[in-house]
Amino acid sequence: MHILITGGAGFIGSALIRYLIKNTDHQILNIDKLTYAGNLESLVEVESNPNYTFQKIDICDAAAIEQSFSEFQPDLIMHLAAESHVDRSIDGPSEFINTNIVGTYTLLEASRKYWQSLDQHKKSQFRFHHISTDEVYGDLEGTIDLFTELTPYAPSSPYSASKASSDHLVRVWYRTYGLPIVITNCSNNYGPYHFPEKLIPLVILNALDGKALPIYGKGNQIRDWLYVEDHAKALYKVVTEGAIGETYNIGGHNEMQNIEVVKTICHILDELKPQSNNQSYEELITFVEDRPGHDLRYAIDASKIKNDLGWTPVESFESGIRKTVEWYLNNLDWCRRVQDGSYQRERLGVKT
């Protein structure tokens, strides 16, 4: 098949492309604007594979998208391109509205035109898979409830509101125009090649530099952590086996308070890379003022994808976080090039 992936230079998109290139024979076209979050160095393992191609395109550029569809003739579209960082959405929501809402609308319209032009067989095989977040559901009180596919939307940040809007548009393009779509809403991901502004890589890299490990509020926010390679496998299952028009929640059954996550990382680092003064990295934990509107708890009920499609995560939090810390320790070069900006300067043709 020809699979067109948007946002393939990002954290989850690059994990998905590495998984597809290594485990299938599909032709993959990666379309990405290469914002600060897009890093082609996350794809070095697969970039010379003949089944992989990259095009630098903004998903808001309808003409470029249409041309790309007509040349590549995708059987499946997996849409991951987005602005994804909650703090950045609070500081400046406009790019979130453009990319997440207008960009998704632009892709949907281009997909609808393209899909309508296909012959009957190709038309029936075509899928538009929209990759979304559990943050559209808002947060949960107490420790018992879980987000199901029927939980009402109640987003709390400009990021989650823009993702909620895009989910609504995708459902409407199915209901109104019959475009064959599937939607997935996933919990927090972690793993290799995660951009160092996000909690887990930030903590690992700050600890290694002997810097403070900042934690919002009291660190009691609960997230349901999923190893990114488990997410990539779930996405492939849903796009190939999921029922048209359906939504699937994806989660790791790994609910942890942020403070527990940070302490776990500190303990693994104490073991693998002890500080020269023999103090635990925990000593570097610093509590900072909480984020406005910060959601307290997210937790996914992933029974639908398990029962209908037979997907369950392979990694526990213990195994996944250890692999992640080891990956960062072995790939400090990738991290430093992100931190000093050289991953971007070189592709803009500026020598570093």
Catalytically active residues are 134-135, 159
d(CA 44, CA 334): 11
Selected binder of ligand NAD within 18, 127, 129, 163 (CB under 6 A): 163
Q: Which of residues 36-65 bind ligand NAD (CB under 6 A)?
A: 37-38, 58-60
How many binding residues for ligand NAD (CB under 6 A)?
30
Nearer Cβ to ligand NAD (37/182): 37
Selected binder of ligand NAD within 4, 20, 35, 40 (CB under 6 A): 35
DSSP structural state of residue 297: B
Q: Which of residues 204-263 bind ligand NAD (CB under 6 A)?
A: none
Selected binder of ligand NAD within 3, 18, 33, 139 (CB under 6 A): 33
Measured CA to CA in angstroms, residue 303 lies from 135, 308, 310 at distances of 18, 8, 9
Q: Which of residues 120-149 bind ligand NAD (CB under 6 A)?
A: 131, 133
Nearer Cβ to ligand NAD (81/325): 81
Applying CB under 6 A, the span of 7-15, 18-26, 298-306, 341-349 interacting with ligand NAD comes to 7-15
Question: H helices then E strands: how many in the chain?
Answer: 14, 13
Q: Is there binding between residue 7 and ligand NAD (CB under 6 A)? A: yes
Measured CA to CA in angstroms, residue 212 lies from 86, 218, 282 at distances of 21, 15, 10
Q: Is there binding between residue 18 and ligand NAD (CB under 6 A)? A: no
Determine contact, residues 52/2, Cβ cutoff 8 Å: no
**Minimal distance in Å, beta carbon 120 to ligand NAD?**
31
Determine contact, residues 90/38, Cβ cutoff 8 Å: no
Nearer Cβ to ligand NAD (108/284): 108
At 139 the three-state DSSP class reads coil
Q: Is there binding between residue 11 and ligand NAD (CB under 6 A)? A: yes
Q: Is there binding between residue 313 and ligand NAD (CB under 6 A)? A: no
Determine contact, residues 298/223, Cβ cutoff 8 Å: yes
Q: Which of residues 61-120 bind ligand NAD (CB under 6 A)?
A: 80-84, 99, 103
Neighbours of 202 (CB within 10 A): 17
d(CA 290, CA 134): 21
β-bridge pairing 52-56 and 27-32? parallel
d(CA 96, CA 175): 25
Residues that bind ligand NAD (CB under 6 A): 6-7, 9-13, 32-35, 37-38, 58-60, 80-84, 99, 103, 131, 133, 163, 186, 188-189, 195
